[in-house]
Amino acid sequence: MNAKKADKIATGVLYAVAGIIVLILASLLLYILVRGIPHISWEFLTQPSRAYETGGGIGIQLYNSFYLLLITMLISFPISLGAGIYLAEYAKKNWVTDVIRTAIEILSSLPSVVVGLFGFLIFVIQFGYGFSILSGALALTFFNLPLLTRNVEESLKAIHFTQREAGLALGLSRWETVLRVIVPEATPGILTGVILSSGRIFGEAAALIYTAGQSAPALDFTNWNPLSVSSPIGLFRQAETLAVHIWKINTEGTMPDGAAVSAGASAVLIIAVLLFNFGARAIGKRLHKKLTSA
């Protein structure tokens, strides 16, 4: 067998394997969407869930998912940005930075249920926050930090060294060069990573079962006290998210129409995660084009 023929066979095998993987993923997504989309309506997206009776929706769980995502990103993004800038621009090659990078790799490989149990022991019990938005957001911060930090670091490292030299040649300090030249240039990559990690957080369930709780109390939209347990922005109230709600429906069986609600909620979750991913690519490409054409 000559080299060209072997190359064609190997290429064909790789394409076949890739095609099978794509087919499996596409079939799974289509199965969830086909089963769930017929159950989605405006009432389904806005009404609260109901136990022991039919006709419930996912309104509060959907709101909790977005609110928890917002709080998590407000906590984790500044920390990740600072850590990424340090590792990419200031950290020297020594045992300290090796330990930091090793710790980041270990954290990124931890199962989410381990992060949830850690959050339960530290934030729920030790700090006394209880099952709450704040406990869930802090646990998800540990879950999100490794991925987001590596994304910021790689985005900054991708900027050519001539950009740094140009900033310094213009009389800017090292910090001013990073702040005014490097970070703006790396913004498309950083923003793409933020949106992708947002999709990962939005679909998380295991870590939140032990930290944010498994109930969704009714919300009083006239009360905007962040310390109130009935406020939509309350930080110390339990907050069952959409992913946790799907798990709960399929384990407790307290809803007569649980299969329909689970199918609809699963479709909404899949659509949201897909929108996060496609949105990240679209925004990243648009920002890249705008910066390169400027």
Which pLDDT tens digit goes with each residue over 64-114? 999 999 999 999 999 999 989 998 888 888 888 888 888 888 888 888 889
- Pick from 88, 68, 179: which is nearest to 133 by CA? 68
pTM: 0.87
pLDDT for position 281: 75
Assess if residue 110 is contained within a domain.
yes
Residue 148 inside a domain? The answer is yes
Geometric angle at alpha carbon 59, from 54 and 63, rounded to 5°: 155
Do the beta carbons of residue 90 and residue 175 sit within 8 Å?
Answer: no
Rounded to an integer, the average pLDDT of 264-285 is 84
Phi, then psi, of 57 in degrees rounded to 5: -120, -160
pLDDT reported for residue 23: 95
pLDDT at 62: 92
129 found inside a domain: yes
Confidence (pLDDT) at 77? 92
Say whether pLDDT at 123 is over 90: yes
The answer as to whether 22 is a domain residue is no
- Asked if the structure places residue 262 within a domain, the reply is yes
Contact 289, 283 (CB under 8 A): no
User: Residue 236's domain is classified under what CATH number?
Assistant: 1.10.3720.10
Query: Between these two residues, 227 and 253, which has the higher pLDDT value?
Result: 227
- Domain range for 128 is 40-293
Say if residues 120 and 51 touch (Cβ distance below 8 Å): no
Percent pLDDT > 90 in the chain is 32
pLDDT in tens, 14-36: 999 999 999 999 999 999 999 99
Q: Is residue 175 part of a domain?
A: yes
Confirm if 264 and 39 have CB atoms less than 8 A apart: yes
Average pLDDT, the chain: 87
Domain membership flag for residue 14: no
Query: Which whole number is the average pLDDT over 130-151?
Result: 91
Q: What is the pLDDT of residue 1?
A: 61
Q: How many domains does the chain have?
A: 1
Answer yes or no: is pLDDT of 186 > 70: yes
